[in-house]
Amino acid sequence: MDAPSDAFLWVKALHIIAVVCWFAALFYLPRLFVYHAMSDDTISHQRFQIMERKLYRGIMWPAMVATLITAHFLVDWGDATRHYHEAVWFYLKVGLVGLLVIYHFVCGHYRKKLMENAHYKSHKFWRYFNEMPTLILFAVVILVVVKPTF
């Protein structure tokens, strides 16, 4: 196998940075939902609305887009030597990333619902909802690092 090019390594580094930023936001936004649902005063509701909007639009969206764009280039460049498209783990990982994208959009939907009614769902619901990206993260990292054969 040939050594990866400098461009490939730069894109890989940017991909890792984007993934870390995206996951940080995926972990934090539902945590804000927990606190938002527990708050009772108007000032707190307004504060959480601002925090949630800035996190969703200013960090989550750009990080997701950067993650998906850099992933496309990594697969396109790397597939010639690493044969990703022949591996089951690769398709499982892509499916899990698809679930993360859906989770991302669901967070956006819930953010808007919380603006209308902070007690739309209980703080316990948000605590469980907050665990989904963690489970996906574990699975994706294991698939990418271990590359199990099925």
pLDDT in tens, 29-65: 999 999 999 999 999 999 999 999 999 999 999 999 9
- Domain that residue 15 falls in: 6-146
The answer to whether position 128 is within a domain reads yes
Q: Is 54 annotated as a binding residue?
A: no
pTM: 0.92
Tell me if 75 is assigned to some domain: yes
Decide if 91 is inside a domain. Answer: yes
Residue 1 lies inside a defined structural domain of this protein: no
With respect to residue 109, please indicate whether it lies within any of the assigned structural domains.
Answer: yes
Give the side-chain half-sphere CA count within 13 A for 91.
Answer: 6
For residue 75, count other CB atoms closer than 10 A to its CB: 14
pLDDT reported for residue 121: 92
Cα gap 53→23, rounded to integer Å: 16
Residue 41: alpha-carbon gap to chain centroid: 30
Task: Region of 105 please: left (phi>0), alpha (psi -120 to 50) or beta.
Answer: alpha
Q: Hey, CA dihedral for 31, 32, 36, 39, is it positive or negative?
A: positive
- The two structure tokens encoding residue 76: 């396109």
Q: How many domains is the chain built from?
A: 1
Q: What is d(CA 90, CA 70) in angstroms, rounded to the nearest whole number? A: 16
> Does 39 reside within a domain?
yes
93 is in an annotated binding site: yes
Per-residue pLDDT of the chain in tens (150 residues, 90 and over written 9) = 566 788 889 999 999 999 999 999 999 999 999 999 999 999 999 999 999 999 999 999 999 999 999 999 999 887 666 678 888 999 999 999 999 999 999 999 999 999 998 888 999 999 999 999 999 999 999 999 999 988
The one-letter amino acid at 4: P
In this structure, is residue 119 part of a structural domain?
A: yes
Q: Token pair 């989550």 is at which residue?
A: 60
pLDDT value of residue 56: 98
